[in-house]
Structure 1
Amino acid sequence: MSIKRKRRFHAEVATSSLSDIMFFLLLFFLIISTLANPNVIKMTLPKAKSNEKTNKQYISLSVTEDKKFYLDKQVVPFEELETTLLSKLDMEKDQTVIVRIPFNLQVQDLVDVLQIGVKNNLKFVIATSPK
């Protein structure tokens, strides 16, 4: 007499560890995406109560404390800043120039840069950090 088993073997996939793996992958990609910003030069920006973020196409103009000018991480002397900026701008698109200037530079340095935009009818935005 043979004894029949009433339980049959069913294949199962253990998914309990998959949720942990997905969580760690999500954290990894979130951290990496915040660190990977190639057009950033580290500087202390002026503070403002309200910040507005832009998703439009932009050109980054950074001024360091020793008055070196960078257009998208490319060093440009101040005398050639206007011609280089106009060559980088595409007049058909709505592009904005984001000016990153340290808070401890003189106001005249900022005015000199902004007068390039006024003279050529360009859109300039001053980058700030939250208060």
Structure 2
Amino acid sequence: MAIRKNRRFHPEIPTSSLSDIMFFLFLFFLIISTLANPNVIKLTLPKAQTNETTNKDHISISVTEDKKYYLNKEEVPFDQLEQALYDKTTAANDKTVVVRVPADNKVQDLVDLMQMGVKLKLNFVIATSK
């Protein structure tokens, strides 16, 4: 009497470590994507024929469409903006400030910022896109 044993091969793919690998890849791409674009304040800048680049170590003021003011990516209320700007320019010993105002905003918003620059004797540069 010949008894046959069932020796069929059932291939299996071990997937226990796959979730760990996917988690580490997700973290890696998440960290790299935040480092790739440090300017996270999205603005539609006014257009210009020519552009000049500035050095990376500058002080920037950004104004959003809903009139939130950011000084080097830190939100600052408008009434405290002049003092914060004075503190940053004296600490950095840099008199050049890049102003990023959306193309849709009123001219008065830009004029208010320029008046602060005149009081503090700063050089303002308006950021544009090509």
Task: With the length of structure 2 as denominator, give the TM-score of the two structures.
Answer: 0.68
Amino-acid identity (%): 63
Who is 2:51 aligned against? 51
1:99 maps to a residue whose letter is V
C-alpha deviations, 1:44-71, integer Å up to 9, x for none?
Answer: 0000001000126311110000000000
The answer as to 2:33 corresponding to 1:36 is no
Distance, in Å, in 2 between the alignment partners of 1:92 and 1:83 is 14
Computed over aligned residues only, the root mean square deviation of the Cα atoms, in angstroms, reads 2.0
Who is 1:102 aligned against? 102
Distance, in Å, in 1 between the alignment partners of 2:56 and 2:90 is 13
CA 1:102/1:72 → structure 2, altered by over 3 Å: closer, same or farther?
Answer: same
CA 1:93/1:87 → structure 2, altered by over 3 Å: closer, same or farther?
Answer: closer
Q: How does 1:57-76 map to 2 (within 5 A)?
A: 57-76=57-76
Say if 1:56 and 1:96, in contact at 8 Å, map to a contact too. Answer: no
Q: CA deviation at 1:39?
A: 3.6
Distance, in Å, in 1 between the alignment partners of 2:124 and 2:40 is 17
Who is 1:87 aligned against? 87
CA 1:40/1:124 → structure 2, altered by over 3 Å: closer, same or farther?
Answer: farther
1:72 maps to a residue whose letter is N
Q: Which runs of 4+ in 1 moved over 6 A?
A: none
Question: Secondary structure of the residue that 1:46 maps to in structure 2?
Answer: coil
Q: CA deviation at 1:98?
A: 0.6
Q: CA deviation at 1:93?
A: 3.1
Distance, in Å, in 2 between the alignment partners of 1:46 and 1:54 is 17
1:128 maps to a residue whose letter is T
1:85 maps to a residue whose letter is L
Bigger mean CA deviation after superposition, 109-118 or 89-98: 89-98
Who is 1:24 aligned against? none
CA 1:102/1:89 → structure 2, altered by over 3 Å: closer, same or farther?
Answer: same
Bigger mean CA deviation after superposition, 56-65 or 99-108: 56-65
Number of residues of Structure 1 aligned to a counterpart in Structure 2: 98
